[in-house]
Structure 1
């Protein structure tokens, strides 16, 4: 199903920290998004954007998926946390300026306590591929969760 939502409606990041360009498509348990690498993209240097930033692109796509689920059930996007990754690999060290990254995140596991695991793939128009499995946590109330973490 083509997306009726834009990034700002699904991801709680704002300003320059909102790294996704478009939400392309979604379905049962998955979402695809796009990032356009520009000269003034966050984290860009003379070579482009370092491929390790792909991990954040993947995490924000998962955030968009979670925000979509909230919107589809009448809610608003909530804050979530990247808690770990397995085997993040990229075939290149940089995403080139002018390249378009297509990201697909697929829900692999979702527990009642807010923990989830996603398989993620990123393809770029300049033949780079990055993959990872990301573990994320979305508490019911992020403010209470953060307060509790401060007090410990």
Structure 2
């Protein structure tokens, strides 16, 4: 991460639109023009929990919310508000664990590899527990210039 210009560490609620039980990430650790790092404490109960914790496939949403935090940080820095974005898909999602055990502290990192003027982006993501990478993927996202107008058009 660039040390030239410090980037403010916003409260997570200020940079992502997710609320209530659907906000799965807990804290912004760092961000810059190309990268974001967030933290997740896997809950003991939540919308995705089962007896083994949280299924590993939920890691895709942890990654997507990390990307949302990155976009929200950029919007805040420019004086704007976080916007709604869309998870388009993943490639090569690999998880070493079948579940994320309740109580484990996860670090989620997303690195922007491609961001088009049309709002399409591709991120290399990983989830770590301690020094071990426990999940990786490439995540595709879309952030339209006006998400609400985009949703209205799609509903018509």
Same fold (TM over 0.5): yes
Whole-angstrom CA distance in 1 between matches of 2:135 and 2:10: 25
In structure 2, distance between residues paired with 1:24 and 1:4: 7
Q: Confirm or deny: 8 A CA contact 1:117 1:134 kept in the other structure.
A: yes
What is the RMSD computed on CA atoms of the aligned residues? Answer: 1.5
Name structure 2 gaps, 5 residues minimum.
Answer: 1-5
Q: Which residue of 1 aligns with 2:127?
A: 122
Runs (4+) of structure 1 moved beyond 3 Å? 125-128
Note if contact 1:24-1:33 (Cα within 8 Å) is conserved in structure 2.
yes
How many angstroms does 1:2 deviate by?
6.8
> Counterpart of 2:14?
9
What is the match of residue 82 of structure 2? 77
Question: 1:3 Cα shift?
Answer: 4.8
State the secondary structure of the residue aligned to 2:150.
Answer: helix
Alignment of 1:55-134 (within 5 A): 55-125=60-130, 127=132, 129-134=134-139
Bigger shift: residues 2-11 or 27-36: 2-11
Distance of 1:130 and 1:139 partners within structure 2: 28
| 1:140 pairs with 2:145 | yes
Query: What secondary structure sits across from 1:16 in the alignment?
Result: helix
Structure 1 residue ranges without an equivalent (≥5):
none
Counterpart residue number, 1:18: 23
Aligned to 1:27: 32
